[in-house]
Amino acid sequence: MKKCVAEFLGTYALVFAGTGAIIIDQQAHGSITHVGVAITFGLIVMSMIYALGDISGAHLNPAVSIAFAAAKKFQVKELVPFILSQLSGAAAASLTLKYLFPDNQFLGATIPAGSDMQSFILEFILTFFLMLVIINVAKGSKEQGMFAGLAIGSVVALEAMFAGPICGASMNPARSFGPAVVSGHMEHLWIYLSATTLGASSAIPVWNFMKS
């Protein structure tokens, strides 16, 4: 139960701060900027890893939980409770933002700027490399683990910074699920549920090959 509460709170914080930065940037006529939004995502991920990592591992991301289970680094029986906690946290954050900013149309939802396939491929690649970093620092040496939050948060900020304007740089089904469901704009949600999960899972055999 503590692990599920940690995942709920961590994912809530991620979506609240990250998509909140997008909404406030729109409300404040670009005062945060795209770079500021990317940094916000990176910093909140880093913060939650350090705050909650020793409780639940701070996955904050269904694609990461699925990939850890595929790597046999996470118990399959905990997978459904973790994913439900993450999706619930994301939805709760978007509901909070909907209450605070009722006139905002998309609530920071991830929407492709180009074609669906362009965003699908981008999300696949982004999540692949994110998971490669996560699995290495989370399951590497103790020294690597101490820097896990910084390393993972930096990758999130980096990828959001350069790919965000095209695909939204979700890298996380829960991050896209909350805003899409609460705003009612679910037409592109399939991209961010499937591409991120496939990307994260594809990193595991590559990691196993490198480590063997």
Predicted local distance difference test score (pLDDT) of residue 142: 61
Rounded Cα distance between 128 and 120, Å, is: 12
> Measuring CA to CA, how many Å separate 128 from each of 27, 91, 153, 154?
33, 24, 15, 15
* pTM check: above 0.75: yes
70 band by pLDDT with thresholds 50, 70 and 90: very high
Tens of pLDDT along 88-142?
999 999 999 999 999 999 999 999 999 999 999 999 999 999 999 999 998 766 6
Per DSSP, helices labelled H in 141-188 are 142-146, 148-167, 173-183
> Measuring CA to CA, how many Å separate 68 from each of 31, 47, 52, 92, 106?
38, 21, 17, 25, 31
For the chain, what is the domain count? 1
Predicted local distance difference test score (pLDDT) of residue 139: 72
CATH number at residue 196: 1.20.1080.10
Ramachandran angles phi, psi of 86, nearest 5°: -65, -45
Tens of pLDDT along 6-65?
999 999 999 999 999 999 999 999 999 999 999 999 999 999 999 999 999 899 999 999
Exposure on the CB side of residue 176, measured as CA atoms within 13 A: 26
Predicted local distance difference test score (pLDDT) of residue 212: 81
Task: Compute the average pLDDT of residues 157-170.
Answer: 97
175 band by pLDDT with thresholds 50, 70 and 90: very high
| CB count in 10 Å sphere of residue 212 | 5
Task: Compute the average pLDDT of residues 193-204.
Answer: 98
- What is the span of the domain harbouring residue 206? 2-211
